[in-house]
Amino acid sequence: MGSGVARFRRPGPEYGLEPDRVAAAAPDLSGPLAHVTVTNRHNPTGTLTDRATLAATAEVVADHDGYLLVDEVYAPYTVGSSDDEPPGGAFGGPTGAGLPATVTVGSLTKFHGLAGLRVGWITGPEEFVERAREVEQHVPGLAAPTVALARRFFAHRDDLVADARDHCRQNHDLLAAFVADRDDLVGTVEAGSPFAYLEHERADGDAVSEAAWEAGVLVVPGRFFELDAGVRVSLGRAPDDCAAALDAFGRVLDEL
């Protein structure tokens, strides 16, 4: 489509968002900067970027006449309630919404468990949103019952979010304890996160994921994120199911 991509890396082991790295990558483009895309939480590591860092990154992007695009699908994965979070929360996590030159995208598919609806949203500067509305006229729309079901979520938001956050808290604790108990895994389970990027001391990401698959356990190879050494481990089901999955995964690791 006539566009180029310039990459910037989040250095491990923290994988934090560094505005200076974004600024350094911008000159690699042959044309004007359209936007810079980041995930928050970071996928696959679970690192959560605070609003101040998002603001600093947005300022860098604006200096190059672009937009900061923040994918906030994983932002709600926190263990505190929305009321406990500081201003600028995305269903419980930090958000870029309302920052200058910043566009955010969110969805009901992950934390809220409504993937089948395929409903999401954007926030951003007025001119960007208006242009998005124009483009929307040329892409398939959502069926009216789908939109109605999505609206019903908001009518029961408090109860549904409380249940999802309780699952998130329990699954984070399960994953953190699992990693802490194993000497053959390297990686950090970020505070409140039910997923993490982990490396095994004797096997790369493909070897771990293939062995897990044979045992009926799905973990994502790190090469999907250009991190070949490890895997992304995520706990998204009910805590009892996740505990059983970790037991099975542990047996896989023991046999590597």
Query: Which of 98, 130, 155 is the last residue in one of the domains?
Result: 155
- Closest residue by Cα to residue 176 from 99, 242, 83, 103: 242
Please give the Cα distance from 100 to 97 (Å, whole number).
9
Residues 80 and 150 both lie in one domain: yes
Residues 119 and 233 both lie in one domain: no
Over residues 123-139, the pLDDT tens digits come to: 999 999 999 999 988 98
Q: Is the dihedral of CA 196, 201, 207, 208 positive or negative?
A: negative
Query: In total, how many domains does the chain have?
Result: 2
Burial label, 104 (beta-carbon count in 10 A; 0-12, 13-18, 19+)? buried
Residues 87 and 33 both lie in one domain: yes
Please give the Cα distance from 198 to 229 (Å, whole number).
9
In this predicted structure, the answer to whether residue 28 has a pLDDT above a threshold of 80 is no
Residue the block writes with tokens 């293939």: 210
Q: What is the mean pLDDT of the chain?
A: 91
Q: Per the domain annotation, does 46 fall within a domain?
A: yes
Domain span including residue 221: 158-254
Question: Is residue 100 within 8 Å of 58, Cβ to Cβ?
Answer: yes
Residues 79 and 37 both lie in one domain: yes
Joined tokens for residue 21? 């790295």
Over residues 192-226, the pLDDT tens digits come to: 999 999 999 999 999 999 999 999 999 999 999 99
Q: Tell me, yes or no, if the pTM score tops 0.85.
A: yes
Please give the Cα distance from 112 to 158 (Å, whole number).
11
What's residue 89's pLDDT? 64
What's residue 37's pLDDT? 95
Query: Which of 93, 127, 155 is the last residue in one of the domains?
Result: 155
The stretch 32-49 carries a mean pLDDT of 93
Residues 37 and 51 both lie in one domain: yes
Residues 67 and 143 both lie in one domain: yes
Amino acid letter for position 21: R
Beta bridge partners of residue 185, listed in sequence order: 200
Residues 172 and 144 both lie in one domain: no
Joined tokens for residue 230? 């490890």
The CATH number that applies at residue 114 is 3.40.640.10
What's residue 18's pLDDT? 95
The stretch 69-78 carries a mean pLDDT of 93
Residues 124 and 217 both lie in one domain: no
Residues 150 and 39 both lie in one domain: yes
In this predicted structure, the answer to whether residue 30 has a pLDDT above a threshold of 70 is no
Residue the block writes with tokens 């980041």: 38
What's residue 87's pLDDT? 46
215: helix, strand or coil: coil
Residues 92 and 34 both lie in one domain: yes
Burial label, 148 (beta-carbon count in 10 A; 0-12, 13-18, 19+)? exposed
Q: Which residue has the higher pLDDT, 84 or 237?
A: 237
Residues 143 and 249 both lie in one domain: no
